[in-house]
Amino acid sequence: MSTPNDANEGRTEETKQVRVTHEESFSSSDRNGNDSRRKQVMIVAVVALVAMVTILFAFLWLRPAKEVKTEAPAAAGNTETVKFLMEQQWLIRMKLARVDEQTVARQITATGRVVPAANKQAVIAPPVGGILAGGQIPRIGQRVAQGQTIAVLQQTATSAEQAQVRAASASIGLENARLEADRRTAAGEVESARVRLDLAQKEANRAQRLYERKAFSERQLQAAEADLKSAKAVYDAAVKRLEALTSTRSVAAARANVGSANASFAVRAPLSGYVTKVNKSIGEQVAPGEAILEITNLDTVWVEAPVFERDLNRLGGGVGATFTTAAHPGHEFRGTVVDIGAVINEATRAATVVFQVPNGGRALRIGMQANVSLDAGESVTAMMIPRSAVLDNESKKIVYVLLSGEEFQRREVTLGDEYGDKVAVLSGLNKGERVVTQGAYQIRLQELKPADAGVHSHET
């Protein structure tokens, strides 16, 4: 049987159990609260750290680049440096070229015009009047052969006209006689040049044999070869002159190739070529000496170009030249000098030089503009860079030199002669340096920006 004391002890035990249970509950709640607070603190710390990193990165990215001052090389004169990021270089596809010492042939350049070669163009103008009859007049662009009948002139000649025909025939006879004398002289010059060429060839062969046996020096061999080259140039020029005189004689004879003054006149082509102008049609009246049409032979053309007097002494008979035109980009035509003008233009200080150019495909047309480039016969050794690397800065020439991956230096340079797409550098650059050939203008614009709008650096 239980006693009151037992009951009191039971209530006391229950009370202790309840207190322990509440204490355990409060302890668990405290632990959960602490974990939650720690997580919140960690999240806030991470967010704050990210914000600080972002602010720092933005500060470094948006601040202006520091201007780097370097001492210029002794040859460079006044210089400036500029930052240009890799991303910008990739965007504009920047290109560089190394400053190298090169040996190149000196070039003379000029702009000329295509003209008919001597005796390769004829204006058909009969010496008597009449009415064009017979078949069709050749049209523009039609090819005609030498001696081909191109028109028939029907007329009733007066006594005066008959006398005019006789006078014209007599004049042509005198002209042919003069041309025949010139032709004989030219033939003699060809023979003399051929003899000299044969002797020069034999001497060159002999010099080559002796040089191989070490009996001749290289200088003696070169002298013999130079004499051979000169003799060949003289021979070629003499042959061309003889050919020109022969053609002229044929043209002069053809001018008289009309029929009787009292009947129909068969007008024939004095040379083979293409009809480039037509002035009359069948049935029209033609006055004495009036042009009917024009014929031009385009198998060979001339290019006339002004060459400065300082360069004339570098030219001579047979000097080669190349020609380019806007109509045929990328294609080069080749020709030779046939005449150097005897008169200097006082305004331009240049003389007209005539070049003969083979034109079998008729790619060159009369009146076309041609860019001429001649080998001046000498070579020079100089520091070379592409012309595309050079910028104009007021009255000075500048280039941009790569110093490091993203750093460039502006240099003032002194330039020499141009050689095709390259130009000689007299001062301002050192061998082995690299200059910007594509993108220099963009670097120039970057350099001209104010300091607070400059290139942004990733460096601290």
Please write the tens of the pLDDT for every residue from 290-302: 898 999 999 999 9
Q: Is the pLDDT of residue 28 over 60?
A: no
Rounded mean pLDDT, 155-178? 68
Do 79-104+380-453 and 107-115+299-378 show the same overall fold? Answer: no
Say yes or no to pLDDT of 460 above 60: no
Q: Which residues contact 259 (CB under 8 A, 6 or more apart)?
A: 265, 266
Provide the residue ranges of all domains of the chain, joining segments of one domain with +. 1-62, 79-104+380-453, 107-115+299-378, 121-296
User: Any idea which of 181-195, 242-256, 339-353 has the lowest mean pLDDT?
Assistant: 242-256
pLDDT score recorded for residue 36:
67
Whether the predicted model's global pTM rises above the 0.95 cut: no
Average pLDDT for the chain:
78
| Per-residue b or e along 359-388, where b marks 16 or more CB atoms closer than 10 Å to that residue's CB | beeeebeeebebbbbbebeeeeebbbbbeb
Q: 263: helix, coil or strand?
A: coil
Confidence of residue 258 (pLDDT cuts 50, 70, 90): very low
Question: Does the structure show a pLDDT above 60 at 16?
Answer: no
For the stretch 43-91, pLDDT in tens is 767 667 766 755 554 444 444 444 433 333 434 445 678 888 888 889 8
Confidence of residue 399 (pLDDT cuts 50, 70, 90): very high
Instruction: Inform me whether the pLDDT recorded for 25 exceeds 70.
Output: no
Catalogue the E-assigned strands of 72-224: 79-83, 95-98, 100-116, 121-124, 130-133, 143-144, 149-154
pLDDT of residue 186: 80
pLDDT band at 330 (very low <50, low <70, confident <90, very high): confident
The per-residue pLDDT for 320 is 78
Band the pLDDT of 260: cuts 50, 70, 90: very low
Closest CA to 248 of 158, 117, 365: 117
User: Which of 28-42, 113-127, 144-158, 372-386 is modeled with the greatest confidence?
Assistant: 113-127
Question: pLDDT at residue 373 above 80?
Answer: yes
What is the structure's pLDDT at 354? 92
Q: Is the pLDDT at 115 greater than 90, yes or no?
A: yes
Mean pLDDT of 438-446: 88
Confirm if 383 and 435 have CB atoms less than 8 A apart.
Answer: no
Q: Residue 180 above 70 pLDDT?
A: yes
In 309-406, which ranges are E strands? 320-324, 333-340, 350-358, 369-386, 391-393, 396-402
Q: Give the model's confidence band at 259: pLDDT under 50 very low, under 70 low, under 90 confident, else very high.
A: very low
Residue with tokens 């509950």: 25
Which CATH architecture fits 107-115+299-378?
Answer: Beta Barrel (2.40)
Lowest-pLDDT choice from 8-17, 237-246, 350-359: 8-17
Average pLDDT (110-130) is 88
- Residue 114 pLDDT: 95
With beta carbons less than 8 A apart as the criterion, state whether 198 and 190 touch.
no
- To which H or E segment does residue 318 belong? none
Please check the confidence at residue 26 and state whether its pLDDT lies above 70: no
The CA-based dihedral angle spanning residues 280, 281, 287, 290, taken in that order and rounded to the nearest 10 degrees: 20
pLDDT score, position 113: 95
| Whether residue 442 has pLDDT greater than 70 | yes
Question: 4-8, 110-114, 262-266: which range is least confident on average?
Answer: 4-8
What's the CATH class of domain 79-104+380-453?
mainly beta
DSSP 140: T
